[in-house]
């Protein structure tokens, strides 16, 4: 059985804001996310398995030079 998480739970897991998680959803970085809300107020549920796709995603160019060695 698939376990679904809220935006806040995912944000807490990655220690980012809920806004960042919503941007990831809109960018397609969290596959198979479902919206159980309305057109005016989305209410997302993210499958737990989708969290690994964020971890595997490439490091963006905005990371300062030299930091990628730490990551």
Query: For 1-30, what is each residue's pLDDT tens digit?
Result: 889 999 999 999 999 999 999 999 999 999
Share of the chain above pLDDT 90, in %: 63
Burial 18-51 (b: 16+ CB within 10 A, else e): eeebbebbeeeebeebeeeeeeeeeebbbbeebb
Among 54, 53, 34, CA closest to 45 = 34
Residue 21, classed as helix, strand or coil, is helix
Asked whether residue 45 carries a pLDDT value surpassing 90, the answer given is yes
Task: Out of 16-20, 42-46, 52-56, pick the least confident.
Answer: 52-56
């Amino acid at each position: 059985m698939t376990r679904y998480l809220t935006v806040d739970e995912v944000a807490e897991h990655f220690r980012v804001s809920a806004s960042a998680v919503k941007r990831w959803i809109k960018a397609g970085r969290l596959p198979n996310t479902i919206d159980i809300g309305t057109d005016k107020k989305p209410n997302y549920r993210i499958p737990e398995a989708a969290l690994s796709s964020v971890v595997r995603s490439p490091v963006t160019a905005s990371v300062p030079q030299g930091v990628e060695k730490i990551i």
